[in-house]
Structure 1
C-alpha cells in the first residue's frame, strides 16, 4: 500500500512538471513593463521590432478590426517586404493591420521630459496663428510629419499641452525618433516616412534634410561632411490614419523637405477631412504662389505665408461649403460665357 502511494505521488509530480514546462513554452513573447506591452524577438528569429503595442485604447476601436492579427509565426518584416513589392493600396487590410500592430507607438503616460518645460510655444508662430483660426479648439487631433525630437520647432506641442489635443508624430530619422521617444509626448508616434506614392515602399534617406530643417544656416559643405544615409519604411498618410481609425484631422503640419507635393497627391480628399494645415513651400516648384494655386484646386485657401529664420510655411484652411459653392458657380459661368459673371453674395 505505501509503495502504491509512493508511485501515485511520483506520477503526480511528473505530471505537474510536464504542465509547468508546457505552460512555459506557451507563454507569448510579451512582457509587462510599466503598463506597456513590449515585443521581444526570439534569439533564433530575425524579428527586429521593439516597440509599444497598442492595446485597448480609446482611439483604436478593436470591434472594427480591419483584418485578423498576424499569427506569431509570421515575421512582419517579411510581410512588409511582400506588401512593398505588390504595391498594395493605401487601404489594404493587411497593411493597415501591420502598421497598427507593429509600427505605431502608443502615447506615453509618464511626465514630460522637455528641455524647456516653461516654453508655451516651440513653433515659429504657426501654432498661435492656427490656434486663433480654430477658435482655440479643445481636444482636437493633429498630424505632424517631420516631428524631429518632438520639442524643437514643434508645431503641435502647444496644442497637446494647452488644448488637450491628441495626435501622431511622424519622424523617419532613427536618431531623432529616439530623442522624440524620451520626451514622453502624449501622442502616437511612428518611425517612418510618408510615401509620395499611394502604396508602401522603402526609401533611402540622407540626414541632410534633417540638418536643413533644424540648422538651415549651416553650409552645404558642412552638411555633406556629416551626411549619413539610412533605409526607411514609408507609408501613405491615409494608411496611417486608417490604422488609427482617424480620417478627420484638425491640423496637419507637413515638413518633409521637398516631398510635400508627392505626399499631398496620395491623400484621397473625398475620404480625409483636414481643416487647416501648414505646408513648407521653399522646395515647392514655383514657391508659395504655385502651392496656393495647387491647394486652391483642392478646396483650400491660403491664409498667410510665413517666412524667416527656421520658417517657410504657407498656412491653408479648408474653404467653407458656401465658398466652395461660389467657386463652382463661377467656374460654370466661365465655361458657359468665357468670363466670370458677377455673383451676388
Structure 2
C-alpha cells in the first residue's frame, strides 16, 4: 500500500471552501435582505405612529366637543348677584352697551305705534325710551322718535343680525344697542340661543330657559339681564316709553322684576298673546292697574299701550 503523499510546504494550496466563505455570503445576504425590508419597516412604523397620534387627537377632540356641547346646552344663573350690583352694572355699561357707528342711514318711517306715543307724550322732544325686541321681522317703534324728536335710549335685540344692523345705523349718538334678552326674574342668566328662532325666557323651575324651535339653526350664547340692571347701566330711572315686543307670557314676568317704587315709566307698550286665557288677561290688567297704568289703546300690530296715571292712588 502506497503511503499518502504529503505535499511539501512550498507547494500551492487549493482554494479552501470552509466556514469563512460561508459566513461572508450569509452576511452579504443579510445586508441585501435588510435593504429590501427596511423601507417597509420604516413605513409601517411611521404609519403606526401616525395612527396613534390620530387616535389620541380624535379622543381629545371628542372630549373637547363633549365639553363644548355641555356648555352650549347648559343655562347659567348668577343667583347671588343683585340687580343693582355695581360690578354687574359696570359690566353691562362697559362691555354690552354699544353705540352706533352711523354707517347706514336710519329707516325713519313713522309706525302707528309711534304716532300714538307722540300723541300721548304731547310731541315731547328729547324723550327717553327702552325698546326690547325678541321676535323676528319686527319693525322698531323708536326710529322715527329718534330722527324727528331727538329721542334717545336703549334698543335691546336678541337676534344677532338685527343687532349688527342696528349698530351700523345712524341712531342718536347717545343711544345704545344691546345684544341680550331681558331676564324674567331678578337673576342674570346666560342661555343657549338658536339664531333666527324666537327666544322665550322662563323663570327658573318653570321650564327650559330658551326655546329651541329648529335644530338646524346655529347655536350661540345669550346674556339675559334684569331690566333694572340695564336701566342703571344707562344711568336712568325714569322712562318716557318702554316697548316690549316678545312672543309669549314672559313679557309680564319681565315687568314683575321692575322695582316700581324706584322706576317711573310714562308710556308702556307690550305684546300680549291672544292665546292667553281670559283669567290670565284679567289678572294682567289688574296687575297693571295696581301699578297705576291704564290700558288706553291696542295697535294694529296687536300691542297693548298703557299710560301711567300720576293722579291715581294705590
Q: TM-score range by the shorter chain?
A: 0.5 to 0.7
Counterpart residue number, 2:290: 297
Shift of 1:208: 2.5
Question: In structure 1, which of residues 169, 189, 201 is the aligned counterpart of residue 177 of structure 2?
Answer: 189
- The structure whose Rg is larger is 2
Q: Is the 8 Å Cα contact of residues 126 and 150 (structure 2) preserved in structure 1?
A: yes
Counterpart residue number, 1:18: none
C-alpha change, 1:229 and 1:257, in structure 2 (3 Å) is: farther
Q: CA RMSD in A?
A: 2.7
C-alpha change, 1:193 and 1:147, in structure 2 (3 Å) is: closer
Counterpart residue number, 2:198: 209
Q: Is the 8 Å Cα contact of residues 128 and 153 (structure 2) preserved in structure 1?
A: yes
Counterpart residue number, 1:127: 114
C-alpha change, 1:202 and 1:225, in structure 2 (3 Å) is: closer
Q: Does 1:113 align with 2:101?
A: no
The range that moved more, 285-294 or 90-99, is 285-294
Counterpart residue number, 2:147: 161
Q: Is the 8 Å Cα contact of residues 78 and 187 (structure 2) preserved in structure 1?
A: no
Counterpart residue number, 1:277: 268
Counterpart residue number, 2:123: 136
Counterpart residue number, 1:237: 227
Counterpart residue number, 2:42: none
Listed one character per residue, the Cα deviations across residues 191-221 of structure 1 (whole Å, up to 9, x for unaligned) are 11111111211122333227xxxxxxxxxxx
C-alpha change, 1:285 and 1:152, in structure 2 (3 Å) is: closer
Once residues 151 and 283 of structure 2 are traced to their aligned partners in structure 1, the CA distance between those partners, rounded to angstroms, is: 31
Once residues 105 and 135 of structure 2 are traced to their aligned partners in structure 1, the CA distance between those partners, rounded to angstroms, is: 15
Once residues 280 and 137 of structure 1 are traced to their aligned partners in structure 2, the CA distance between those partners, rounded to angstroms, is: 24
Runs of at least 5 residues in structure 2 that lack an aligned partner in the other structure: 1-75, 200-212
The range that moved more, 178-187 or 246-255, is 178-187
Q: Is the 8 Å Cα contact of residues 127 and 150 (structure 2) preserved in structure 1?
A: yes
Normalising by structure 1, report the TM-score: 0.58
Q: Does 1:102 align with 2:92?
A: no
Once residues 88 and 284 of structure 1 are traced to their aligned partners in structure 2, the CA distance between those partners, rounded to angstroms, is: 34
Q: Is the 8 Å Cα contact of residues 132 and 243 (structure 2) preserved in structure 1?
A: yes
Q: Does 1:257 align with 2:247?
A: yes
The range that moved more, 279-288 or 127-136, is 279-288
C-alpha change, 1:313 and 1:254, in structure 2 (3 Å) is: same
Listed one character per residue, the Cα deviations across residues 242-278 of structure 1 (whole Å, up to 9, x for unaligned) are 1111010000000122220121111000110000011
C-alpha change, 1:152 and 1:281, in structure 2 (3 Å) is: closer
Shift of 1:95: 0.4
Listed one character per residue, the Cα deviations across residues 141-179 of structure 1 (whole Å, up to 9, x for unaligned) are 010001779x96111111101100111100122222112
Normalising by structure 2, report the TM-score: 0.64
Runs of at least 5 residues in structure 1 that lack an aligned partner in the other structure: 1-82, 211-222, 329-345
Counterpart residue number, 1:175: 161
Q: Secondary structure at the match of 2:109?
A: coil
Q: In the comparison of the two structures, how many residue pairs are matched?
A: 221
Q: Secondary structure at the match of 2:295?
A: strand
Q: State the structure with bigger RCO (CA 8 A, min sep 6), 1 or 2.
A: 2
Shift of 1:282: 1.0
Once residues 105 and 310 of structure 2 are traced to their aligned partners in structure 1, the CA distance between those partners, rounded to angstroms, is: 39
Counterpart residue number, 1:340: none
